Amino acid sequence: MPKIFMLWLIFASGFTSYSPDERDIYGQVIRDFVDKGMHENGSNGRPATLLIRKRPANFDVNRLQQDTGAFSRLRSAYRQLDLATFHTLLEKNQANPNSEAIEIQGVQVVVIDSDIQLNQEASFSMYPDWNGQILEFSPIGFNDEHTQTLLYVGFEWAPIAGGGAYFIYEKKGRHWKKKKMIPVWAA
């Protein structure tokens, strides 16, 4: 009961601001990225607690807008990338991204400030089911038909490693399928 109430508090303010497609895509990213990583690392499933940054700390939309070759590089990695998908990614990221509305069934999502440096020991005592990973998501860019998306997803295993990538999804029928993951950085 306390976890359900806590999730309600986290999501009550902004939950309706995401479309069903956006909620589906964030959920699919969790299944494709987090769940897959958990299984590859020998875990038997998704962590019960995920920490997500309120705003991506490692995604600079202003630098991306100034980079005249950014779309060309992304398109060379995925030829079917629509220019409108890229443009809406830029437009949506001008506003303050709101990760507080991301909901994942069966998981306690804890939204943290983007500039906070976590004390791992204290975080593990507060969230014993946390896997040590901090995620960050950009708002999602769509093409005009709402059949293609582009978003940035970053992660860090505090404080040792991290990385970020663009994910491209396309809608087939009622389901979103990952078409491409384009790595951006790794440490």
Residues of the domain holding 18? 2-186
Res. 109 pLDDT band, cuts 50 70 90: confident
Cβ atoms of residues 53 and 155 within 8 Å:
no
Nearest Cα neighbor of 184 from 167, 164, 154, 169 is: 164
Per the model's pLDDT, the better-predicted residue between 168 and 2 turns out to be: 168
The closest of 111, 98, 95, 100 to 49, measured between CA atoms, is 111
Give dist(CA 112, CA 184) in Å, integer. 23
Concatenating the DSSP letter of every residue in 94-144 gives HS---GGG---TT-EEEEE-TT----HHHHHHH-TTEEEEEEEEPPPEE-T
Confidence (pLDDT) at 8: 33
Task: Indicate the pTM of the whole model.
Answer: 0.81
Three-point CA angle 90, 91, 97, nearest 5°: 90
How confident is residue 163, by pLDDT bands cut at 50, 70 and 90? very high
Q: Which residue has the tokens 């690392």?
A: 41
Task: Give the pLDDT band (50/70/90) at residue 46.
Answer: low
Q: Per-residue DSSP letters for 82-99?
A: -HHHHHHHHHHHHS---G
Tens of pLDDT, residues 120-152: 888 888 888 888 888 999 999 999 999 999 999
Query: What's the structural domain count of the chain?
Result: 1
Q: 81 pLDDT exceeds 80?
A: yes
